[in-house]
Structure formats: structure tokens, C-alpha cells
Amino acid sequence: MNFVDEAEIHVKAGDGGPGAVSFRREKYVPRGGPDGGDGGKGGDVIFLVDPGLNTLQPFRHKRRFFAPKGMAGSGKKMHGRSGKDLVVKVPVGTMVRDLDTGLVVADLTRPGQRWVAARGGLGGKGNARFATATNQAPRYSQEGLKGEERRFRLELKLLADVGLVGAPNAGKSTLLSRCSAARPKIADYPFTTLVPHLGVVEVDPEESFVMADIPGLIQGAHSGVGMGADFLKHIERTSVLLHVLDVSVGQEEAKKQYEMIRQELLSFNQSLLAKEAVVALNKIDISDPKEVTVVKEWLEAKGERVFLISAYTGEGLGRLIPVLLNEVNSHKNQTDQHG
């Protein structure tokens, strides 16, 4: 499945129904008064955040969303039925940008959150509304108002506490599957992950956090090489970055991959390097211990916090996971204090 995290759509709320021009026809009322009812309101287009969705894939196939019109009014002051609201489900973390202004108009981050994307037009007034002492038989009514029509770009950014970053085949999918109940596709070739996976890491019955396996980054990702620009957007909302580095490739290649990932993060959004970060040297079970030590000391000299792990065997995770939990909780506490 191709990963889709952006989609352009066209929404149109329902037009209001027209008011009616009608007069009473009663046996003993020679000149029946006006009794035309109002038209119904057009349906709204409403975005609903559905936690069961995790991509914008459905919007590849359906891009136009039109809510029903309001019904026309009728005689006997009967109002037309309002058009039914059209509910469009979107994933948690969907940002809505107005294509005409370029402005972000909604940031949909909470499950169950509703946002009116386009408002239906009001129904027109029937001629009964226009009767006055001097105009007792108005022969006109109002047309309903047009419903709003808008064009949006939907941008999806995953909401996770810990984002796994690293070069392709660094072992991020294996780490996620080892730490959580998530079962991402795992194989010995680059770009195993085409869609970011989320997993809940349960530290104990009371403590847990969400970890996201962000697809592997390659040189030039920030400028759109591969699917990098799409992937980098997902990292922006994570609280903590866990840089997974494969040390089985040797110290020189490991250093090169570390520098490449940092450069891609910096080129895409400088603030990414200000996030709390931890480096996990992975695949120590198949690495030369001397090479591992060299890379560890090199990273620590740069101020990095380094943990030695094997996602495959689970070695070292008992030390790493509590540190990640502590960082996540510290970030949440700071966020709460700042409102």
C-alpha cells in the first residue's frame, strides 16, 4: 500500500431550500391568507476524528464531498426538511489547510473531535413571513442561501510520544515489535516500512507510552527524495526521538549514518534537533564489541545519551525503556505547566 499523508479535497455544504408561495384555500374564507412555509437548511459538512483510521488513503479515491440540500417549503406553513449533515471521518492528527488562503484552519488531534468544514445555507422564507397590515397577500418568497464551498489540503501527522528515526534497515520495526504488541512488516531489505506503525509500550499496568516506527530516512529526504519529506512531517509531533543506529555495519558507516540522519532532520526543521533525543546502538549481538565501544564513545563526546541494545534478542531494552518513559513524562509535565 502506498503511504498517503496528504490529500486535496473539495467540500460543498447543502444549499438552503426555497421558501414557498402559497395561500390558504378554505371553504368559508374567500380570501385566504398567505401560508407558504420556509425552506429547510442545507446540510453541513463535518469532519469527525476517528481513532480507527491511521492514513489518508481513503481520500485517494474520493475527493469530493457534497452535503444534501434543504427541501423547499410548502403550503399550510409547512417548513422544508433540513438537509442531513455529511460526516467525513479523518484520522487523529489531521491538519486542515485552506487551499485558497494557505492558512491552517483546523488541527484535529482528539478522538471524537468534530469540526464544521462547510456550513449549510439557510432556508429561504416563505411568503407567510412577509405578510403585513399593508401587504396581506405577498406573492413572493426567498430562495435559500448557498452552502459554503471550500477546498482543503489534509495533512496527517502521527501523534506519538516516541518517534523512531534511523536509516533503512536499522532495526526500528524489530524494536517496535519487541517493545509493543504492534506487528510491523520486518525483512532484510531497505524500506520495509512504507506506512508508519504505532505501538503502545506498556512499562507496567499504570505506565505506558506510544512509540511510532517512522520509515527509514535516506540522504535528501528533507527535499523529497524517496518518501522522506512525508515521513519527516510525522516526527514533528513526537515528544522524544529515539535514533536507532545499526552498529553491525562498522564504525565508519555507523558514524556516517548518524551524521546523515542529523543533517536530514536539521534541513527539514531545525527545531527537530531541539527535541529530547536518545541514541540506541542496535544489533550489538552481531557487532564487533570494539567497534561498538568506539562509536559509543564518539557519540558521548558529542553529548548524546547512548544505550546498547539488540532489538532482536531484547538485550539492553530493560535499561532503555524506563529512560524513554521518564522523558515522555517530563515532556507531558512541561506541556501541562505551560497550558
Per-residue confidence (pLDDT) for residue 302, from 0 to 100 = 95
Q: What pLDDT, in 10s, does the model give residues 3-23?
A: 346 899 999 999 999 999 999
Q: What pLDDT, in 10s, does the model give residues 292-316?
A: 999 999 999 999 999 999 999 999 9
What mean pLDDT is reported for the chain? Answer: 85
Other beta carbons within 10 angstroms of residue 253's beta carbon come to 15
Q: What strand order describes the sheet that includes 64-66?
A: 64-66, 6-12, 149-156, 94-98, 104-108
Average of pLDDT values for 16-37?
A: 83
Whole-angstrom distance, CA of residue 162 vs CA of residue 182: 14
Q: Is the pTM of this model over 0.75?
A: no
**pLDDT confidence tier of residue 338, bands split at 50, 70 and 90:** low
**pLDDT confidence tier of residue 190, bands split at 50, 70 and 90:** very low
Length of the chain: 339
User: Which residue bears the cell 534537533?
Assistant: 273
Per-residue confidence (pLDDT) for residue 158, from 0 to 100 = 62
- Dihedral Cα 56, 332, 335, 210, nearest 10 deg: -10
Per-residue confidence (pLDDT) for residue 230, from 0 to 100 = 55
Per-residue confidence (pLDDT) for residue 209, from 0 to 100 = 83
Q: What are phi and psi for residue 297, nearest 5 degrees?
A: -65, -35
Q: What pLDDT, in 10s, does the model give residues 50-99?
A: 987 877 878 878 999 999 999 999 999 999 999 999 999 998 889 999 99
Higher-confidence residue of 193 and 53: namely 53
Per-residue confidence (pLDDT) for residue 195, from 0 to 100 = 57
Q: What pLDDT, in 10s, does the model give residues 256-294?
A: 999 998 988 888 778 788 888 999 999 999 999 999 999
- Dihedral Cα 281, 282, 287, 290, nearest 10 deg: 10
Crossing angle for the helix pair 251-268 and 289-301, to the nearest 10 degrees: 30
Q: Could you tell me the domains of the chain? A: 1-156 (2.70.210.12), 162-337 (3.40.50.300)
Higher-confidence residue of 25 and 99: namely 99
